Amino acid sequence: MATARKTLYKKITLLTLLRLIMAMVLLVTVLIFDLRRGYTFFGGPARELVYSSIMGLLLLCTVSAALLERVRSERAMHRLVYSLLIGDALFATVLVLLTGGADSVFTFLYSLAVINAALLLYRRGAIFSALVNSACLVLIGLGQTGHLGDGLAEGLSTGNLLGDSPGVVPEFSALATNLVINVLAFFGIALLSSFLAEQIRQADQLARRHKEGFEELANLHEHIVSSLENGLITITRSGEIGYINRTTSELLQVPAEDLLSKSLGQLFPQLPEFIDEADLYQTSHLETQHDLPDGSKAFFRWSISPLRNKDNDQIGHILLFFDITRVKEMEARMARTERLAAMGRLAANIAHEIRNPLASLSGSIQLLAETTEVEGPSRRLMDIVVRETEHLNSWITEFLDFTRPRALTLESVDLFELVDEVIQMLTHDERMEGVHFEVDGPKPCQAMLDRNRVRQVIWNLVVNAGQAVGSGGNVQISVERYERSVELTVEDDGPGIPPEAINRIFEPFFTTKAGGTGLGLATVYRNVEDHGGSIHVESLPERDHGTVFKMLLPSNLEETEPTEFQA
């Protein structure tokens, strides 16, 4: 109903504008002819009738325009249309009366009124207009022939009122043929124009339905493509990006308008060569690494297909890519876990193969030192042997402690209190002299954790950060409580971690510190993993130095699923 009302509103507006233009043309034409004849072109009351009819038409246009803006219902709009049709018939009637009655050349205005009615209200409006206009023309004929009174006949007997010649009262038989032909013409025009209007309406409705169907199909296509969790890019044969979906913009962290019409090689330099190889060797899969604007790295797996038009001619390529960063991280974690498991199995053998001879060596040296009076350099060498065997034994103990699986002893722990406890101990450590510590977070921050192992994690992370910044440096520790997890962040403003080392810092025996064993951060990773948590490290890209460790632990370890860190 709303669409029909809107269509009718547009038609009325257009026809009102056409009426207004016609009235203005008539007014200007009449004025020109009247001025040229020195105001003698019209006879008697003709001038008043002509100008009154034109002004009436202008008034009709103005009133209809004003009413049209106030009409709200479709029924009221139909009533307005019928009023306009009657107004058209009356205007045509006045002109016909002024220009010769039933024989006037302006009887074609009745036909125009019928066509207008067909365009507005189709067959019903056309028949109504044909009836009204036929009645007006018949009344004019009856009036001219005296059937409506001698007075009216004498008033119309002047013939052409726009001229000065007198006329005679015609016989009705002389006008009957003309009247019948005109009436039949009105109804014929009504039927034909209404049929054509109906055809136009049906074609318009069909076109509208097709347009709506195409729009729905386009919207469905857009929603489907936008809802894909994978990125979609189309490129031309020249390599320019023609279309991207919403996920592409999100994965690349770049606004869509900054990607369109750019060259694919600007974003992914390695892809154009691969596309050429894909066309040549029929290969269509590739994995790439991409640096994101936030400084992180993402791994994508690409699938490439030809883009064809309706004639099956290739006009470009379709690139579908998947974010496999999590998969790569999981693979790295699994590889690290497998290495640790293999190292644990190896550790048991190492303990037996090294510890027993080491104990014998240490015991023999100590016994030799007690039973033999050795002084000078020889005594110092014996002391070095004893000290180094103890150091080696301590290292093996630490290594075995790292590789040996241990059960968690869970209890309710205030993570903020645990951090504060570690900081209090480190303030008296000479290695942390001059280091400024700042702790931030909610009090309390309760979670079900293994107190000793989490304390060891905090200790290692804070000590590493303090040693990295040195005297005068800053270390910021923050604690955050979520619905089902707790997060610990240790940030320093030290020199940072080299890019080539950041992916290896949790590996056993890998260290960037002189004299380090390479087991501190490996132990941290093991303890966090045993809690079902995750740990993430990054050297801040927005500045030249600084490192951030973020550890996420589940707050209730009754759940067995591991917590994934959201980087």
Q: What are phi and psi of 243, to 5 degrees?
A: -155, 145
**How far is 328 from 83, CA to CA, in rounded Å?**
77
Contact between 52 and 153 (Cβ < 8 Å): no
Strand partners, 236: 316
Which stretches within 99-171 are classed as H helix? 108-144, 150-156
User: Are the C-beta atoms of residues 74 and 97 closer than 8 Å to each other?
Assistant: no
From 536, 567, 532, 537, select the one nearest 553 (Cα to Cα).
532
Rounded (10°) angle between helices 74-98 and 108-144:
60
Q: Which residues pair with 486 in a beta bridge?
A: 481, 553
Residue 51 amino acid letter: Y
Instruction: Report the pLDDT value the prediction gives residue 559, as an integer from 0 to 100.
Output: 42
pLDDT of residue 565: 39
Angstrom CA distances, 193 to 143, 283, 342, stand at: 30, 63, 92
Number of Cβ within 10 Å of residue 517's Cβ equals: 16
Q: Which domains does the chain have, with CATH numbers?
A: 2-209 (no CATH), 230-323 (3.30.450.20), 332-403 (1.10.287), 410-554 (3.30.565.10)
> Which residue is it, tokens 């619905």?
483
According to the model, what pLDDT value does residue 550 have?
Answer: 92
Extract long-range pairs of 144-147: CB within 8 Å, 24+ residues apart.
144/101, 144/102, 144/169, 144/170, 144/175, 145/169, 145/170, 145/171, 145/172, 145/175, 147/172
For residue 478, the cross-strand partners are 440, 489
3 state SS of 164: coil
- Is 552 strand, coil or helix? strand
How far apart (Å, rounded) are the C-alpha atoms in residues 12 and 68? 8
Alpha helices in 228-324 (DSSP H): 246-252, 264-267, 271-281
Whole-number CA gyration radius for the chain: 49
Dig out the tokens for 360 from the structure: 């014998």
pLDDT attached to residue 477: 92
Contact 555, 486 (CB under 8 A): yes
Phi, psi dihedrals of residue 114, rounded to the nearest 5°: -65, -40
Instruction: Supply the pLDDT for residue 273.
Output: 76
What are the CA-CA distances from residue 559 to residues 162, 325, 439 (Å)?
A: 103, 25, 29
Contact between residue 144 and residue 170 where contact means Cβ atoms under 8 Å apart: yes
Look up the pTM and report it: 0.42
Residue-level pLDDT at 488: 92
Give the count of alpha carbons within 13 A of 27, CB side only: 14
Please give the DSSP secondary-structure letter assigned to residue 118: H
Residue at 109: amino acid letter: L
Strands 474-481 and 436-440: parallel
Q: Assess contact for 346 and 258: CB atoms under 8 A.
A: no
Instruction: State the DSSP code for 493.
Output: -
User: Which SS3 state, helix, strand or coil, does residue 486 take?
Assistant: strand
Look at residue 561 and give its three-state secondary structure: coil
Task: Say if residues 289 and 298 touch (Cβ distance below 8 Å).
Answer: yes
Q: pLDDT value at position 161?
A: 45
Q: Could you read off the pLDDT tens digit of each residue along the chain, which spans 567 residues? A: 456 667 777 777 777 777 777 777 777 776 776 666 555 545 555 566 666 777 777 777 777 777 766 776 777 777 878 888 888 888 788 777 777 677 777 788 888 888 888 888 888 888 988 898 888 888 888 877 776 766 666 656 544 444 444 455 566 666 788 888 888 888 898 888 888 888 888 888 888 888 888 888 877 777 777 677 788 888 888 888 888 888 888 888 888 777 777 788 888 877 887 777 666 555 567 888 888 887 778 888 888 888 888 888 888 888 888 888 888 888 877 877 777 677 667 766 776 677 677 777 777 777 776 766 666 677 777 777 777 777 777 777 766 666 666 678 888 888 888 998 888 888 877 888 888 999 888 878 888 898 888 988 999 899 888 888 888 889 999 998 888 889 999 998 888 888 778 777 887 777 776 656 667 788 888 888 888 888 888 876 555 568 899 999 988 755 434 444 333
Residue with tokens 């600084």: 546
Which residues lie below 8 Å from residue 516, measured CB to CB, with a gap of 6+?
none
Q: Please state, as a whole number, how many other Cβ atoms lie within 10 Å of the Cβ of residue 465.
A: 25
Count of beta carbons in the 10 Å neighbourhood of residue 394? 11
Rounded CA separation 117/192 (Å): 12
Q: Which residue has the tokens 């913009």?
A: 249
Question: In 3-state terms, what secondary structure has residue 548?
Answer: strand
Contacts of 525 (CB under 8 A, 6+ apart): 336, 506, 535
113/133 Cα distance (integer angstroms)? 8
What is the dihedral sign for C-alpha 506, 509, 511, 517? positive
